[in-house]
Amino acid sequence: MSEEFYRMKRLPPYVIAEVNAMRHAARQAGKDIIDLGMGNPDLPPPAHVIEKLCEVAQKPDAHGYSASSGIPGIRRAQANYYGRRFNVDLDPETEVVMTMGSKEGLASLATAITAPGDVVLAPNPSYPIHTFGFIIAGATIRSVPTTPDEDYWRSLDRAMVFTVPRPSILIVNYPSNPTAETVDLAFYERLVAWAKENKVWILSDLAYSELYFDGNPTRSILEVPGAKDVAVEFTSMSKTFSMAGWRVGFAVGNAHLIAALKRVKSYLDYGAFTPIQAAACAALNGPQDIVEANRKLYQKRRDVLVEAFGRAGWEIPSPKASMFAWAPLPPALKEMGSLEFSKQLLTHAEVAVAPGVGYGEDGEGFVRIAMVENEQRLRQAARNVKRYLISMGVNTPAI
């Protein structure tokens, strides 16, 4: 029986996996690859969080099944975070659910609220789960731009006029992965009004809420009065507290959508390991100086990346937020395409980046650079890139 399964037919080969396989092979061969491809934080979680994990794990009654929606303490902690950070009131019982990272939460909600043939509006380029979570659930994707300019609003309006059936869900992700673009509260105010007028649910992915730069804090869509009528928002502790492998995230907002997510999750999982949930409470409720320290560190890395790569002959726009830079290919090499350029960098500069086409067709011509190496390694990456550009005949400035 060699026939491909139905859902597998809807999933194209994962482009980024091709570069990942090359990176793994290069490292196996002993090459020192500077990995700026995957957004995997290289910093440790706060010490008191690890201590809490170990403390609770010592308890004999901490190893059974947990609650799929999260223990009461973790839901209260997340509600308190939204109160402190965004001045948003959330009911921990009906408006908060813990997820296995924001990625699982989005995929589970897609399963809960999507019928085959539904049309979902998703940004292009975008993080793959924003589209494929819904494709797996049977939906059809209509792309809208990622850049939040007037063309974005025209695209939304065209989608409502010309799509059958009319779209029922809109995905937004700011700060954007992969483009690092940001929006202000006025954008969300306009978006909520649009969603109410068009009877569309909004799913906001706010995974990079605390990685903002230059003193411009990220805004939440739930700050808009009445946003909870149409929106839920996903957050993650992966980047904020360098807890990516712990898989701790949340969905908050509209009680009807949260109830649907809870119901599906009750069939699919028993929740995260209880000591992990207790440690996550310690992170949310404890000292927040680590968040500010991480933010400053990523901002410094951003400045080093932009400066060093610019001196190497590759101009990279300075991101306003997130842990990524969205870099256009050097003009002289643009015809190479993002996948081949990424392979060339890996092979000849020993620097791994993510090809933009892996985030959607509108990502072609770009690569995503993750700021997950220290400043010394970023400068070394720039030197390696400069040698590669010179070998390709690209004029580079003197350093």
pLDDT confidence of residue 399: 52
Helical packing angle, 274-285 and 72-86, nearest 10°: 20
pLDDT confidence of residue 194: 98
Q: What is the pTM of this model?
A: 0.93
pLDDT confidence of residue 67: 83
pLDDT confidence of residue 16: 75
Q: Strands of 231-236's sheet, edge to edge?
A: 96-99, 249-253, 231-236, 201-205, 169-173, 119-124, 140-145
pLDDT confidence of residue 12: 72
pLDDT confidence of residue 39: 83
Peptide bond into 165 cis (omega under 30): yes
- Nearest Cα neighbor of 217 from 326, 371, 320, 369 is 320
pLDDT confidence of residue 112: 95
Cα 12 to its chain centre, rounded Å, is 20
pLDDT confidence of residue 8: 80
Cα 205 to its chain centre, rounded Å, is 7
Distance CA 221, CA 267 (A): 29
Burial-class residue 267 by CB neighbours within 10 Å (0-12, 13-18, 19+): exposed
Q: What is the pLDDT along the chain (399 residues), one digit of tens a residue?
A: 556 787 887 777 677 777 888 888 888 888 999 999 988 888 899 999 999 999 999 999 989 888 889 999 999 999 999 999 999 999 999 999 999 988 899 999 999 999 999 999 999 999 999 999 999 999 999 999 999 999 999 999 999 999 999 999 999 999 999 999 999 999 999 999 999 999 999 999 999 999 999 999 999 999 999 999 999 999 999 999 988 888 999 999 999 999 999 999 998 888 899 999 999 999 999 999 999 999 999 999 999 999 999 999 999 999 999 999 999 999 999 999 999 999 999 999 999 999 999 999 999 999 999 999 999 999 999 999 999 999 988 876 655
Distance CA 329, CA 314 (A): 8
- The conformation of residue 222, written as its DSSP 8-state character, comes to G
- Tell me the one-letter amino acid at 268: L
End-to-end, the C-alpha distance of the chain in Å comes to 60
